[in-house]
Chains A and B, each alone.
Chain A
Amino acid sequence: EAGVAQSPRYKIIEKRQSVAFWCNPISGHATLYWYQQILGQGPKLLIQFQNNGVVDDSQLPKDRFSAERLKGVDSTLKIQPAKLEDSAVYLCASSLVPQPPMETQYFGPGTRLLVL
């Protein structure tokens, strides 16, 4: 079974530029998560989708970040315009169905973003 796919793996941009990340979850996984992991810290949830609907985006900086999952499968996360503090690894995760507390999330390799 293929894992969570993410692209690009690395991205370097200048501040105020725009950038987009793509994620394809494990086949059949209804729930998709985007996390931000700043160097030296644990991941922090940005947004959670259940199929193509947003379940939680309370920690998404909506003035510059946006995300969509139009057909309930793959998803894109966009930053416009980027700031220096957006330099981080952006991790996508998916799970079969949300069955807290035991549902396991499976993560992709992440996209490392450097904003200069």
Chain B
Amino acid sequence: AQKITQTQPGMFVQEKEAVTLDCTYDTSDPSYGLFWYKQPSSGEMIFLIYQGSYDQQNATEGRYSLNFQKARKSANLVISASQLGDSAMYFCAMRDLSSGNTGKLIFGQGTTLQVKP
């Protein structure tokens, strides 16, 4: 079965510094997608970045980048120049293809990030 593991329940980072949020995954499918979402206290899940299993380069979106290490099955999120507004829960998710093209996302447990001024 596919699984996402986020081992850091909580992280602190100083404003303007970079932070890495860890994510490892387990799948036997050769084709899969990895996503990161941000969930502020308001509750809405905000899409941040996507990495496909066949992508040759690491994905980047503004201050977000994904450190994709396929052999190690890790997809860590790097946030550069942290801002106070980055304080939120962050979820790593994987597209489940084991049951066909249903599109179901498998989420990790999440990491709470707090940015200190």
Interface residues of A (CB under 8 A from B): 31, 33, 40-45, 48, 55-56, 58, 89, 91, 93, 95, 98, 100-110, 112
Contact = CB atoms under 8 A, between A and B. Distances in A.
Interface of B: 4, 31-33, 35, 37, 42-47, 50, 52-53, 91, 93, 95, 97, 99, 101-105, 107-110
Contacts of A48: 102-104
A98 B101 CA distance: 7
A103 B43 contact: no
Contacts of A40: 109-110
A8 to B, nearest CB: 13
6 contacts: A42-B108, A43-B45, A58-B99, A100-B31, A102-B52, A106-B47
A55 B45 contact: no
Nearest to A58: B99
A101 B52 CA distance: 7
A5 to B, nearest CB: 11
B99 A44 contact: no
Nearest to A107: B45
B44 A100 contact: no
Nearest to B104: A45
A55 B33 contact: no
B108 A100 contact: no
Closest 9 CB pairs of A and B: A42-B107, A101-B33, A107-B45, A101-B95, A56-B102, A110-B43, A98-B103, A109-B44, A45-B104
Contacts of B32: 101
A44 B33 CA distance: 17
A56 B47 contact: no
A89 to B, nearest CB: 6
A42 B108 CA distance: 6
A55 B95 contact: no
Given A42-B91, A98-B103, 6 more contacts: A56-B104, A100-B31, A100-B97, A101-B52, A109-B43, A110-B43
Contacts of A110: 43-44
A3 B104 CA distance: 20
Contacts of A45: 104-105
